[in-house]
Amino acid sequence: MRILTIVIVMAVVAILVDWAVSVPPSCYQTVDVTATGTETLDCTPLQGPLLGWARPSAIRIGQFVGANAASVTALSATVLALLVLLLGWSVAGLKSGIRTQRIETQEALRLSGAAAAEAGRSVNAIEQALIASQRAFVFLRRFEVEVLRYPDRAIIVPVWENSGATPTKNMRSHVNWSLRKDSLGEEFDFPDFAGGESIGVLIGPRSTVNATALEISAEDLDEVIERRGHLYVWGWAEYNDVYLNTPRHRTEFCNEVIISRDVDRRVAVNFAVYKKHNSADDGAIKTPRQMAAG
């Protein structure tokens, strides 16, 4: 702003000087106004709006300009040249400022885009945290056991629990059991035995549901009690949650059934967690069977 003011002032000065130089010499006429014939100037032509209020000074300036017209013209041209250079310098500075402003604007837009992307990631993280805290999560809560007499047998019922704040969708589960002479090997792949059908079930928020009951005969109980065999129970549950575009879930379990009997023939049943096939989702041994969530 200060540069612009200086330019305007210098331009006005240059214009005034140039205007003064352009006054034709013929306007300075001599007349005889004294008895002795002393010549003086008639300044009538100079009584314009600019110099009429300062006649003595105008006379002296006019005489000086008339006598030094070439020098004044050169000075005026020099001033104008300097003005041109100053204007060129100002324009160059203006262009540089525009380039700087453009770069700063581009950087601001880039930062705004980065901030918007970060905000999007934050919203997505919040949404994922909300889903994780509210979605259905199914796990094996416990085993219900009932030992019956006449004939002797045991009923084992796995109990599924949904600890989430929303219900399951399209849930299916399957349980198996096997009495073996030896323990499970590393190659055992936890199959679903023929005759055991997976069942559809719904578990509400923070609720439980019984899986298929398993009946163990008296002969098999004796095998386990007398340590002649190993009894294993395993199974799985697969389900969707209520949220869109979320994967199907799978929970697996496997336990060895430990049975003891006292002298009064009272039976105690306990369940030892097996080292494999006890996990959920990404940690599960098998992937869930895909089905439409609807």
Tell which CATH architecture fits domain 138-283. Sandwich (2.60)
Q: pTM of the entire structure? A: 0.60
d(CA 215, CA 179): 12
pLDDT tens digits for range 185-228: 899 999 998 655 678 899 999 999 999 999 999 999 999 999 99
pLDDT of residue 199: 82
d(CA 153, CA 156): 10
Domain ranges, ordered by start, for the chain: 1-134, 138-283
pLDDT of residue 51: 47
Let me know: does 203 contact 168? Beta carbons within 8 Å. yes
d(CA 135, CA 165): 6
- Please give the torsion angle defined by the CA atoms of residues 225, 256, 137 and 204, in that order, rounded to the nearest 10 degrees: -30
DSSP state of 135: S
pLDDT tens digits for range 101-131: 888 888 888 888 888 888 878 877 887 788 8
